[in-house]
Each structure stands twice: as structure tokens, then as C-alpha cells.
Amino acid sequence: MKLQTMPEINTQEPPAKKAVAYIFEWLDSAVFSMFVVILLFTFFFGIVGVQGESMQNTLFEGDKLIITHFNYTPEQGDIVIVSRNYNNSQEDAVNGTAQEPIVKRIVAVAGQRVEIKNGKVYIDNEELQEDYTTSPTEAFDFTAQVVPDGHVFVLGDNRQDSHDSRMSDIGMVDTRYIMGKVILRIYPFDQIGLF
């Protein structure tokens, strides 16, 4: 008796079905990735652009920065973005007349005594070493004050062209108006780097 062999069954998927499965897998990954990015930038990070010259030569007009506000506690030396309501005025917020967000460096935090005299910044009676400034803080003496709780004292690195805590309309900045700390420059591409 002769045994008959069964014909081989082709278990491979047709190419068209493979392509469709690949496309759906790619779309699934893309949608998931977009969801994760949206989640991260909603709750943990933000992207802001630099306007003006107040932070030269550290930051320049048009630079794009990533900031974080997640679990952030302000520290001396941090570069931060202060919201458009930087002068803490409810009237400005309601009328929509507040200024655009500003980028500044924290030079003193709550409890520290800040003073500016003879072109130099003093924190708790010690001269602040500032290799990031473009020029001395001349013609901007600031009578010694202690930064109150929940506030910071901010300055631009370009002291001759910066609207900051030395001016009465900004003064000591309430930390609730800090949008976040600058952690990374992403543009221009040849200047990408951490802070």
C-alpha cells in the first residue's frame, strides 16, 4: 500500500497582509509616542523663546529653551522664566495688560540679603562672583533688602539692558509666577546644551 503525502500548507502571511500589519504597528507606536510627548510637555516641560537682549551673552534673542516646573524649588544661579504677570498685579492679569514672560537669573532667594553698590552685587554681605555678566552693574545701586519668604530677586546677565528686580514694577518676584527653570537650549542647533 502506498501512502499519500499531504500537500504542504503555506503558513506565511501574504505580503499585502504583512504590510497592513506593519502600518498599523507603526501608527500605534506613533500615536503612543505623541501621547507621551504631549503628556510630558503638559505636566513636566515647556518650550519658550528668548526675547530681547537682557541675558546676553548667556542667551540671545531667538534662542529656544526647554524649561521644567516639575517639583521645582528656586535656587540661586538658576535661569528662570517669569510669567507675563511678573509684577504680581491682579489688575494687569484681569485687563490683559501684563508684559510677555521674561527670562532672568535668580541671584538671591528667600532670607538672603541683597545689595548692589559700586557696580557689584552683594549677597549676605559677600560679593557675588558673576563671570556670566557682560558688564558691571553700574549706575544701578540697590539698597540692601532681605528677600521675603516665597520670593526671589532676579537680574538679567546683561545688566545695562535688563528690566529686572532692580526696577520697582518687578521688584522681588513671587515664586508662584516662575513658569520654570531653564534646563536646555534646543535652538540654534550649534548652541544646543544643558544649563
CATH number at residue 137: 2.10.109.10
191: which DSSP letter? G
The rounded Cα 26 to chain-centroid distance in angstroms is: 32
* Whether 79 contacts 59, CB under 8 Å: yes
The better pLDDT of the pair 68, 33 is held by: 68
Distance CA 55, CA 132 (A): 9
23 in a domain, yes or no? no
The better pLDDT of the pair 178, 24 is held by: 178
4: which DSSP letter? P
25 in a domain, yes or no? no
Question: Which residues contact residue 144 at a Cβ distance below 8 angstroms, ignoring those fewer than 6 apart?
Answer: 113, 114, 115, 122
Question: Which residues contact residue 112 at a Cβ distance below 8 angstroms, ignoring those fewer than 6 apart?
Answer: 76, 123, 124, 146, 147, 153
Read off the pTM: 0.76
175 in a domain, yes or no? yes
- Between strands 178-187 and 64-68, the pairing is antiparallel
Question: Which residues contact residue 113 at a Cβ distance below 8 angstroms, ignoring those fewer than 6 apart?
Answer: 122, 123, 124, 125, 144, 145, 146, 147
* Whether 157 contacts 54, CB under 8 Å: yes
- Between strands 178-187 and 193-194, the pairing is antiparallel
150 in a domain, yes or no? yes
16 in a domain, yes or no? no
174 in a domain, yes or no? yes
The better pLDDT of the pair 16, 182 is held by: 182
57 in a domain, yes or no? yes
Share of the chain above pLDDT 70, in %: 83
Instruction: Write out the residue range of the structural domain in which residue 185 sits.
Output: 45-190
In this prediction, residue 1 carries a pLDDT of 55
Our count of domains for the chain comes to 1
Cell of 67: 524649561
Least confident of 17-26, 167-176, 179-188: 17-26
51 in a domain, yes or no? yes
Cell of 55: 541675558
Task: Work out the average pLDDT over 14-18.
Answer: 73
